Structure 1
Amino acid sequence: MSNLTVETFVLGMEETNCYLLSVDGEAVVIDVGTEPQRLIQRIKELGLKLTGIYITHFHIDHVGGVQELLQECPAPVFISGVDEFMKDLSLEAGGCRELVEFLEFPFEEIAPGRRKVLGHDMLVFDTPGHTPGSLSFFFPAAGCVFVGDLIFMIAVGRTDLPRGSSSELLRSIRSRIFILPDTTRIYSGHGPMTSVIHEKENNPHFVL
């Protein structure tokens, strides 16, 4: 099994981390922030075949560039349908109704479980809290997990947006992320990479 290469692109005004994962000429993308031109350029530069786009949650800063990416690099989009209610909420209410024309892309609902992605096992975890449909993607052989806005270096995701839940978020981190090997690299939706052991020992939401 070939090694998984991970490249990070910080996209848009919100500085959202978008991840390009590749193995032997094939690639998937995890989250697509707004203004994805640099990502598209890199995919073309490397001659990669995009085989999937995986979305951690349906906030505009994580899906705003999907439509533009699909125009240049068609691929199936996988996302939890639980978060689709945000299309009906205004920006003021924490939704994306005013920008919905940028979000009219086809997608397949993805459920928790094991999938084969780029020749690697990928475990899909339901990790609600930031949004009810938030997902995390764990690659055991590569020792990395992509968590969206669930947890950051010495911080956790906000829960004051529609149907967010602080108790669910902390439970998701404890039951899905902190059970992973301590050396697992955590790739968050914003900010630097961290690790399971670093957050267990330093995150103020868990350290007494």
Structure 2
Amino acid sequence: MPVAAFPLGPLETNSYILHNESQAVAVDVGGQPEGMIAWLAEHRLPLAAICLTHLHFDHLYGVAALAAATKQPVHAPAGDGALAETESARGGIWGFPLVDPFESLPLPDGRGSFGGMDCEILETPGHTPGGVSLYFPEQKLVFTGDTLFYRSIGRTDFPGGDHATLLRSIHEKLFTLPTETKVFPGHGPATTIGDERVNNPFCGDYAQ
């Protein structure tokens, strides 16, 4: 599987590097990225982009440092723009540290390409107003941020969260992906769409 995972930061947020034979893409950067930078150097892979699934602080702590080290752009979901200047994105809430500021570009609508890899940007709000999941069909994998986890789903009690919207995102956007699609969530172990569609107690067949 062409994915390297790095649990980083105070909440051990899964920070990922997706790679092909020539380039790499980072997805969410939840803490200081020295390990990610070292991994890229070891495998002689240039970073082409940094992509964010949503703008919660625990997914952002290392974004500025990785962008500065690699001189590569950050792409963030435009629908989460309202969170950018709040504690949800900037940190400082509940005693957590502040996030170093960074510049970002909006993720493309619908489809994009990062590091030579085609990506479908799936709108999956509910955990945040504009959260997305990043589906790479050729690699048969999806980064779901905090929308869908192994046997769980994202919280909806933060500003802009909505439980019904989250469930709709999962059923209409994620559970319609191919069964074998590998799911890389923002926290916890990887899973598959087929497994969660059947066994997730919050939204799968098991819940019915």
Compute the TM-score of the two structures, normalised by the length of structure 2: 0.90
Instruction: Name the % identity.
Output: 37
Match of 1:180 among 163, 177, 182: 177
Query: Would the aligned equivalents of 1:16 and 1:62 in 2 still touch at CA under 8 Å?
Result: yes
Moved more, 175-184 or 106-115: 106-115
2:30 is matched with 33
Query: Would the aligned equivalents of 1:33 and 1:63 in 2 still touch at CA under 8 Å?
Result: yes
SS of residue paired to 1:75: coil
1:50-82 Cα distance to aligned partner (Å, 9 max, x none):
110000001111111011112211101111133
1:77-96 aligned at under 5 Å gives the runs 77-90=74-87, 94-96=88-90
SS of residue paired to 2:100: helix
Deviation at 1:101, TM superposition (A): 5.9
Once superposed, what is the RMSD of the aligned Cα atoms? 1.6
2:10 is matched with 13
Match of 2:64 among 64, 67, 75: 67
Alignment partners' CA distance in 1, 2:31 and 2:82: 20
1:122 is matched with 119
Alignment partners' CA distance in 2, 1:86 and 1:141: 32
Query: Would the aligned equivalents of 2:174 and 2:193 in 1 still touch at CA under 8 Å?
Result: yes
Query: Would the aligned equivalents of 1:88 and 1:97 in 2 still touch at CA under 8 Å?
Result: no
Alignment partners' CA distance in 2, 1:113 and 1:73: 26
Moved more, 148-157 or 73-82: 73-82
Structure 2 gaps of 5+ residues are none
Compute the TM-score of the two structures, normalised by the length of structure 1: 0.90
Structure 1 gaps of 5+ residues are none
Q: 1:13 to 1:153 in 2, by over 3 A?
A: same
Alignment partners' CA distance in 1, 2:25 and 2:58: 18
Matched residue count: 201
Query: Would the aligned equivalents of 2:54 and 2:76 in 1 still touch at CA under 8 Å?
Result: yes
Query: Would the aligned equivalents of 2:14 and 2:188 in 1 still touch at CA under 8 Å?
Result: yes
1:69-116 Cα distance to aligned partner (Å, 9 max, x none):
1221110111113323334334xxx4526466602x111111431222
Deviation at 1:36, TM superposition (A): 1.7
